[in-house]
Structures are given as C-alpha cells and as structure tokens.
Amino acid sequence: MPLTVRRAGPVALPAVLVALAAVASPAWARRVVIGRSVAGRAITAQVLGPDSARKVLLVGCIHGNECAGDAILAVLARLRVRSGVQLWLVAELNPDGAAADTRQNAHGVDLNRNFPFQWQPVSDPTYYSGPRPLSEPETRAAVRLIGAVKPAVTVWYHQHMALVDIAGGDRGIARRYAHLAGLPATCLPFLPGTATGWENHTFPGSTSFVVELPPGRVGRASLARHLRAISGLERGERVGSRSSCSG
C-alpha cells in the first residue's frame, strides 16, 4: 500500500513544557497513512522534522486497552524537533482495539504475538497469535513502516508493569531512558512474535524496546520525565553495558 500524506496544522505549545523544547524548530510536520485496520480505520504516523540521518519511532498504543502512551506522543508532537533528528509518532497502531477498549484487534489477535521472528501459534484468547505471522493488516503496516524508515531507536509503549524492558538492542540506550523516566530497567523473558524481538533481529544496530507505563493516566511530573527521556534518545544518550541486563 502506498503511503499517503496530509499536512498537520499548527498546535500551540503548552507554556509549562516550553523549557523541554529542543533548540531547532522542525522544517515541517506531516501525517502519513501507513495502513488500514481490520475495520478500515486509518493507521497514521505523524512525522516531525525533515529527513535526517537519525530517526526515532514511538508507538503509543499496540494493545487497545493500554493506550496511556498516546498522551506522551500528543505532547511530544507539540514540541520542537532537535536538529539532525526526525521523529515518527504512531499513536494508534491498533485503532480498532482502542475503539473497543480491547487488547486485541478486530480479529481478536494480540498484535504483539503476530510479528514473524520466532512466531509460534498461541491459542489463548488473551494472547492469540493469529493463524500465521503477519496475518493482520496492522502488523503488516508496522513492518512496512519500520522497513522503510529504519529507525535508530523504536519505543513501544505498553501498560501496566511500570518498568522498561531492556532485553534487546543496545541495552545502554533503553537503560538511559529508564533512568530519565524514573522506571526500573529489567530484562523480561523472551516472548514469540513480538514487535521488539522482530525489529532487533531484523535490523542489527538498531534498538527497539518496551516502556511499560503504570496503570492509569500519565501525570504531569511523569510526562515531563518521559519527554526528557525521549530527548535523551534524540541525542543518542546511553548508560552502562550494551549487552548486560544488570548494568
């Protein structure tokens, strides 16, 4: 499916967050339709800043009942973009699930078990993997986007464990995010068919990790910490070992 583009209108920057804005203003902002859901809803990415060598992708909601990350992306979209970085923001990868307040998409599939790396059939309805890898249009849209953009870092927001899973890619990058966001950094057990597992395997040298937000909405203080953590990603900050879970 070709990517279609529409321009994003200007949005006022909240005064309380002015100090968090980076130095350089984006040359432009645009919205890209990257695919359609099972029910035909558009899946869009907001692109901030001109084409740059360093790209950062953030996905606010892959499970439709775990969408607190959308609030982080909504504010991030109003901030200035750092020079030399392009941001790609996908608020709703699972718009049907978000509309129904369900973890799964409209086919009852857990999209985070539907990616092709070490996919396994899972029949549990909570984590149903789909009949085959990439069976779902939402998963295929994500794979196309990541293959085209090749982000240096991708953050997938989930809930409700209140931690950062640093199990894949450069663990120092994810660990730095965790420190700045005020969340513990840990390596969760491997799960088949996940977005991060596929991305880290398919694109060596990139880093894809999960931020598990706490239950409920993101408060103002927590929001500010996550925005600082994203700013650290833009700058390429890292801390500790690239390969060790313990530091």
* Residue 123 belongs to a domain: yes
Report which secondary-structure segment, H or E, holds 213: strand 207-213
Give pLDDT tens digits for 183-226: 999 999 999 999 999 999 999 999 999 999 999 999 999 999 99
Domain that holds residue 189: 4-10+17-235
Q: How many CA atoms lie within 13 A of 17 on its CB side?
A: 23
* Residue 244 belongs to a domain: no
* Residue 240 belongs to a domain: no
Give pLDDT tens digits for 115-141: 999 999 999 999 999 999 999 999 999
Q: Looking at residue 191, which CATH number applies to its domain?
A: 3.40.630.10
Place of tokens 């700013």: 231
How high is the mean pLDDT in each 10-residue block of the chain (247 residues)? 34 35 50 96 96 96 97 93 94 98 98 98 98 98 97 97 95 97 96 98 96 95 96 95 91
> CB under 8 Å to 222, separation ≥6 — which residues?
181, 182, 214
* Residue 245 belongs to a domain: no
CB 38 within 8 A of CB 96: yes
CB 97 within 8 A of CB 60: no
* Residue 243 belongs to a domain: no
237: number of Cβ within 10 Å: 15
* Residue 247 belongs to a domain: no
Q: Which stretches of 82-159 are DSSP H helices?
A: 95-100, 137-149
Q: Against a cut of 0.75, is the pTM above it?
A: yes
* Residue 209 belongs to a domain: yes
* Residue 242 belongs to a domain: no
* Cα separation, 216 vs 132, whole angstroms: 33
What domain count does the chain have?
1
Q: What are phi and psi of 19, to 5 degrees?
A: -65, -20
Distances (CA, A) of 74 to 9, 13, 228: 13, 11, 15
* Cα separation, 145 vs 142, whole angstroms: 5
Place of tokens 């849209």: 141
